Structure 1
Amino acid sequence: MMTPTPNSSLNPSQYKQHWRLRRNNKPAKLINLLRLSPLPLLASIIAMPSLAAGYDISLHPLAFNHQDLSWSIGSGRLLTDRSGYDNQPSFTLDSSSILFASDRGGLHNDIYQYQFIRDGVATAAITQLTDTPKESEYSPQPAANGIRYVVEQGVPHQSVWIEKAGSPRQRAINSMIPSGYYTHHSSLGTLIWARYAYSLYFEPLGAQADERHFVVANAGRSIHAIPNEKAFSYLHKQPDGDRVIKRFVPISGSHTPLISIGNGSEDYGWSSNGWIFNIEANQLRAWPVTSKTDHTDQTLQWQSTQWQSAQWQAVTQLAPPTPAHHSASRIAISPDNRHIAIVWAR
């Protein structure tokens, strides 16, 4: 979810509108308009009728051709289909289920699990994993014997929590930095996207992130632990408007550009065999990072000078699943690389 800075100049009605839009993950362009003076604010809201009425998740089979190093996806099916918030999919470690955030239980978001495979047989079972009438949970990710997620407890208290089977939830990070997004690496720690600041902080295992653990400013919300590496990736927004996916290695403190997303969605995902996936104008595309990840001086020099010539490989043009849907954004790839989840706006 996007979390813009609240504007103290808004009247109570506008303030409620501000947080309703933020909770529903409205585009950043509109949220920026909420910082304007009252009259332009109301005019802007009225003049923009094409806001998303909801988000749904579709699931597709995914296949990798080892001979020509290409990807293909099969026909998808909607896991959700309603004018509400069903978003932020993440696969479980066994690739049998999808975790997602949803407001289907009321005014606040909870975490749900959609199991699409059980004992090798296709199924369609939805289970509610959290039930907090006065709080919202977002950004679910699998953990050993449980799940991690962000709990929104009011400004500025928002942090990452972990809940294991049969046990109450507990804080998953020590930092008091309000956390909008995060990603966890089991042998390194947690990379935190600071709410309101659009900056990243890294909390090593056993430490507490603070200003001394600042990583980078102007970062996008899509951050990931890179598969099979002791490194993270993040989207870095450049002064000239370009947006570049970069590798961050906490041990060395290095930042290495990987590839520009151009006009693509700021959301991207990783396959477990080292490809980055992204969507531009409903075209699914991928790029192999595996050939340039040995971290030798020669590799780092290549990446620092040649990354701008890297080219995305087209996978397929995505068709909206129903006439009610129009654009695809977030994606997630299962750990076994056999499924891809795609979020569609209504």
Structure 2
Amino acid sequence: MKKILALLFISNILLAQNGTEIFLMDIAESNGTITLSNPKNITNRRGYDNQPFFHPTLPLLYYTAMQDGQTDIWSYNLKTGVGLQVTNTIDSEYSPTVTPDQKYLSCIVQRKLNGDQDLVKYNIKNSAETQMIFESQKTGKIGYQAWLNSNELVTFVLGTPQTLHYHSLITKKDTIVAPNIGRSLHLIPKQKAFSFVQEIDKKWLIRAFNPQKNTISDITESHPESEHYNCWLSSNSILESRNTDIFSYNITTKVWKAVTLPDMLPKRKISRMAVKGNKIAVVMEE
């Protein structure tokens, strides 16, 4: 009976994944206005393609793709336009993230057997080489992650409420930082701090956590009708998706401004985003 319930639980999760596409575009800023151009659907197939993450130094975009009821990690080469499957396992991999040493892809592995969500890393040159980082039986089910350096990171841990955790791999310290958080976790460019979203008094705030000082500060308020997905354009500018639009927030002027989208871009709901240099990856509904 336990095995049947576990399989039903996992099946419900997989069925809940909506079809999404990843569009790659150029991004430019001029006189305070951010403009996207040259959209290209780099997945262009039926099904779930999501959670883009740019390699910091190589021309690669990693993402999660669902096939035959489970997900694997894929890469897309920005120079050649070729997509390659990185992992091919019986479990499901989510949230590919290049580790600070650039030797591994860390990701959430959802176990087919029981639905556990462990944090694991795969060798980028040989995905058959894996290392366990956190077992969810010990830490709780992990949903997302962001790295400060090779020894420090934060995770989104599922539960009631969902919580932000700070981890030190050296001291084995696991500290609960904040409850009621959202799904966007990011290292703030040129800072030793993370951004996250948190619901406080029925408002969603974009906040910064500095693990060295053990402080939390407010950046701005997230739009109440958005799903609170964001990414950093620079250390001074953050992007947020709002239904079919994208807005940018300037930390200096403290002003939100609409991002100019290309006319040929489909008018569909936008969720996750990732930026590297003059490129942006945008997840849209099919």
TM-score by length of structure 1 reads 0.72
Of 168, 192, 198, 2:155 maps to 192
Count of residues in Structure 1 that have an aligned counterpart in Structure 2: 276
* Closer, same or farther: CA 155–259 of 1 in aligned 2, 3 Å: farther
2:226 aligns to what? 264
Q: Residue 203 of structure 1: CA displacement?
A: 0.2
2:117 aligns to what? 158
Q: In 2, Cα distance between the equivalents of 1:188 and 1:152?
A: 23
* Closer, same or farther: CA 108–61 of 1 in aligned 2, 3 Å: same
Once superposed, what is the RMSD of the aligned Cα atoms?
2.7
AA of the residue aligned to 2:119: V
| 1:60 and 2:25 aligned | yes
Q: In 1, Cα distance between the equivalents of 2:117 and 2:6?
A: 22
AA of the residue aligned to 1:56: E
| 1:136 and 2:92 aligned | yes
Q: Specify the structure having the higher radius of gyration (Cα).
A: 1
Matched residue of 1:101: which SS?
Answer: strand
Deviations 1:134-153 (A, max 9, x none): 20000001121231111112
Greater percentage in helix: 1
| 1:344 and 2:276 aligned | no
Matches for 1:1-346 after TM superposition, within 5 Å: 16=8, 19-26=10-17, 52=18, 54-65=19-30, 68-94=31-57, 96-104=59-67, 106-117=68-79, 123-132=80-89, 134-143=90-99, 144-153=102-111, 154-155=113-114, 157-164=116-123, 165-166=125-126, 168-173=129-134, 176-177=138-139, 178-186=141-149, 189-197=152-160, 198-210=162-174, 213-240=175-202, 242-262=203-223, 263-289=225-251, 291=252, 310-317=254-261, 321-322=265-266, 326-334=268-276, 336=277, 338-346=278-286
Q: Residue 239 of structure 1: CA displacement?
A: 2.7
Greater percentage in strand: 2
* Closer, same or farther: CA 254–273 of 1 in aligned 2, 3 Å: closer
TM-score by length of structure 2 reads 0.87
Q: Say whether the 8 Å CA contact 2:248–2:256 is kept in structure 1.
A: yes
Q: In 2, Cα distance between the equivalents of 1:136 and 1:180?
A: 12
Q: Residue 24 of structure 1: CA displacement?
A: 5.0
AA of the residue aligned to 1:149: C
Deviations 1:201-244 (A, max 9, x none): 1102413244xx1111000011111111111111001232x211
Q: Residue 22 of structure 1: CA displacement?
A: 2.3
Q: Which has the higher contact order (CA 8 A, sep 6+)?
A: 2
Q: Say whether the 8 Å CA contact 1:150–1:180 is kept in structure 2.
A: yes
Matched residue of 1:22: which SS?
Answer: helix
Percent identity of equivalent pairs: 23
Matched residue of 1:206: which SS?
Answer: coil
Q: Residue 172 of structure 1: CA displacement?
A: 3.2
